[in-house]
A and B are shown apart, each in its own frame.
Chain A
Amino acid sequence: MDASNTSDAYIRITNDVISKSRNDLVFTGELDESVLTELHSIWRRKMIQAGVIRGTIETSSPPIQNPNPLHGYAQNKSGIDSDPQFPSTELGLSIKNEGEGLYIPQQDGASDDIKPSAFAPHDDDDESLNEDDDYEEDDINDDEDIPHLIMCQFDYVKKRKNKWECKLKAGVMQINEKNILFSETKGDFTF
């Protein structure tokens, strides 16, 4: 998992985005070449500062060699911008567990007092329900606590009892302050 391969790949991707944008937007007159050049330059600078690509940052004084050696990313960039100009994906609020249906919140008024039914078996060990009894599941969208993230595609996900198997592909792994790219992954998880 050579970091320099990621750097090369990112540089190629950057160049590809710029040259295709040039074809689509500059040659049609929608975008000025100088703006595209500036875009390229700022993007590159940010990636060098983040430590994901090799390069020097040019300024009016002699070029500054990046003080952060190529190592991955310097900061944890978490979350998705809520800027309306860059719409985010809502990955879904519903938590769907196997064996259970979707949770439908009660909307028909306050909950009723539950009186013991003459037909239900009465168990002396029953405790009354309290607020503290709710189990707060870890928020799956809480990126703050998980700096390690993998973004990819799945070919399949299957499980047998508690053994999960998946085939993933085309992924970016941001783990241990490194950026590692993969074409294919086989995952074996135990639930």
Chain B
Amino acid sequence: MEACRNDFIARSYVMATFELYRRSTIGMCLTETLDEMVQSGTLSPELAIQVLVQFDKSMTEALESQVKTKVTIKGHLHTYRFCDNVWTFILQDAMFKSEDRQENVSQVKIVACDSKLLTQ
């Protein structure tokens, strides 16, 4: 039972980290690049996945240790969901403030993975 649970956590960890930041513009640009190179036969799918995995690590590390910006978010919570250790929120009329600027959006989706799964 314990082994199953640990395996589930390990797999959740894998899924929680490795997929999240790929949806960003930098991640999508990489995915498209790798896709093209695999399609043209320049790069094998196995190597493409290894590069993508490295992206996950590099991106996470940069956001955790190199970025220094702090932000506050306020808004109306329209929808929420917690599933597979991932919170998804849809906010309406949201306001983002940092020390030098502010952004307002009428609707925004937040996808957040459990940071505790990464401190291993």
Residues of A bordering B, CB below 8 Å: 1-2, 5, 9-10, 12-14, 16-17, 20-21, 24-25, 30-31, 35, 38-39, 42-43, 46-47, 50, 52, 73, 77, 80-81, 83, 85-86, 88-92, 94-96, 137-138, 140, 143, 145-146, 148-155, 157, 164, 166, 168-176, 178-191
Contacts and interface: CB of A to CB of B under 8 A. Distances in A.
B79 interface: yes
B35 A191 contact: no
Nearest to B35: A83
A95 B81 contact: yes
Interface of B: 15-16, 19-26, 28-38, 42-43, 45, 47-52, 54-55, 57-64, 66-84, 86-91, 96, 98, 100-101, 103, 105, 107-116, 118
Contact of B74 (A21, A153, A189): A189
Given A17-B55, A176-B105, A190 B98 contact: no
Contacts of B74: 187-189
Contacts of B86: 89, 91-92
Contacts of B43: 31, 35, 39
Identify the 7 closest CB pairs spanning chains A and B, nearest first.
A92-B83, A89-B19, A170-B63, A189-B77, A153-B115, A46-B29, A154-B112
A149 B80 contact: no
Contacts of B109: 140, 143, 146, 148-150
Given A77-B25, A186-B72, 8 more contacts: A17-B55, A86-B49, A138-B90, A150-B109, A151-B24, A181-B67, A183-B63, A190-B77
Main secondary structure of the interface of A (DSSP, over half): mixed
Nearest to A92: B83
